[in-house]
Amino acid sequence: MAKAAAAAAARGPERRRATVIDVAARAEVSSATVSRVLNGNYPVARATRERVEDAVRELGYVANAHARALAGTSSRTVGIIVQDVVDPFFAHIARGVERAASEAGRLCMVCCTHGDPRRELAFVDLLHEQRADAVVLVGGAHSDRAYAREVARRARDLHAGGARLVLCGRPSVGRDVPTLSVEYDNEGGAFALTDHLLTQGHDRILYLGGPPDLSTTRDRIAGHRRALELRGVPCAPELVHTGAFSPVFGHRRLTELLASGLTFSAVFAANDMVAIGALQALEEAGLRVPQDVSLVGYDDVPTAQVMRPRLTTVHVPLEEMGRHAVRLAVPGTDAEADAWQQPAGGGLTLGTHIVVRDSVAARRPGPEGARGTARPGTTRPQTQTQTQTDTPSPVRHRPM
């Protein structure tokens, strides 16, 4: 009788799972043979294999992934760190990551930070402990020097251990830090959106929402400003109100702003969630969208098509970003081979484009006044979604 089995027997009849040793004993082979049958990566005589398979079945044997990971083979997992699984922005990226991981034979571990940078760091560590093949850090980063350094350190640790840190939708943390990155043209999308609004005659555009210290917010505002400047429209500071990325924020803040008497003819919501709240606030104030006020969002989550009026927004290839993130980092993919060559260069940027729907109208000349057009949402013929700008994906896109 093998040592392990003997020890188990000595421990008494407590709950115990079958191990390779048990299977081996039952099939009257060695543990190595069992391993070979299980992994199917080595020739095993048919009869032997069948005996082992029977034993496995009879014993209800289930391999131990930890022992397996410990004994050499990779853990076959990838980790993803997001703020919130429910937020469609993150959910879609997570789906991409999960799918690509699963296609690469990996399990996906999801962690939610709820916006706390410390939790984010802690999760990177946790995932590192799990020996994830890749850790994907999703969404805007807080622009904090010390924080970036912490991330950089972890990226190096991960890299030293054969794993990869992938930055998805956030800026690099340093010139020669071994991270991979999947970006989207955040600034360009914002530029195109504001330009669209400008073209429609809006010159007082309220920028609403998004945590002020987040890279995402910074980039979107940058694009917004660039468009403004290009048309020589002054960028009034009282028209920029950052805060959060939620419907609640959009609703609350816009309601306050409306009450304060601030004037504007269009609202650039920092993302679609904020736009949802903003729309509600506008409705409650008796303002029609787009007749009285135009409204745009960002991200193009599915709800944008369901809202009435349907929301004009910027399409971001969320799921695709997630897929690329793991493709870049996980062994067994074409992209991966290259990625390892370019220490800090493994970055790709996907294009964004605006999607014109029904929430923007040309600015009316007078202060108030009926525009004889149809009300949205009823028998009006469906306008097909129009693509304003659309660049082939992995190409940097700069509408101008």
Partner DNA sequence: CTGAAAGCGCTAACAA
Partner DNA sequence: TTGTTAGCGCTTTCAG
User: Which chain residues interact with a copy of itself by CB under 8 A?
Assistant: 15, 17, 60, 62-70, 75, 77, 84-86, 88, 91-92, 94-95, 98-99, 102, 107-112, 125-131, 153, 156-157, 160-162, 247, 276, 283-284, 286, 288, 302-303, 306-308, 375-379, 382
29 counts as binding DNA under rule CB under 7 A:
yes
Burial class of residue 122, CB neighbours in 10 A (0-12, 13-18, 19+): middle
107 counts as binding DNA under rule CB under 7 A:
no
Q: Which range binds DNA by CB under 7 A, 2-10, 171-179, 260-268, 376-384?
A: 2-10
54 counts as binding DNA under rule CB under 7 A:
no
Q: Are 391 and 397 a contacting pair, CB within 8 Å?
A: yes
280 counts as binding DNA under rule CB under 7 A:
no
Name the nearest CA neighbour of 311 among 281, 267, 341, 349: 267
Q: How far apart are CA 232 and CA 226, in angstroms?
A: 10
The binder of 30, among a copy of itself, DNA, none, by C-beta within 5 to 8 A per type, is: DNA
Q: How far apart are CA 53 and CA 280, in angstroms?
A: 61
Nearer residue to a copy of itself within complex by CB, 341 or 378? 378
21 counts as binding DNA under rule CB under 7 A:
yes
Residue with tokens 């190096």: 156
44 counts as binding DNA under rule CB under 7 A:
yes
Kindly give the residue spans of alpha helices, DSSP state H, lying in the chain: 3-11, 20-27, 31-39, 46-59, 65-70, 88-103, 117-129, 145-160, 186-199, 215-230, 247-260, 272-284, 303-306, 318-329, 334-341
The binder of 375, among DNA, a copy of itself, none, by C-beta within 5 to 8 A per type, is: a copy of itself
The binder of 269, among a copy of itself, DNA, none, by C-beta within 5 to 8 A per type, is: none
8 counts as binding DNA under rule CB under 7 A:
yes
- x/- site string to DNA, residues 284 to 323, per CB under 7 A? ----------------------------------------
Q: How far apart are CA 38 and CA 74, in angstroms?
A: 16
Per DSSP, the residues of 39-66 read: HT-S---HHHHHHHHHHHHHHT----HH
Residues that bind DNA (CB under 7 A): 3-4, 7-8, 16-17, 19-21, 28-36, 38-39, 41-45, 47-49, 61, 63-64, 67-68, 70-73
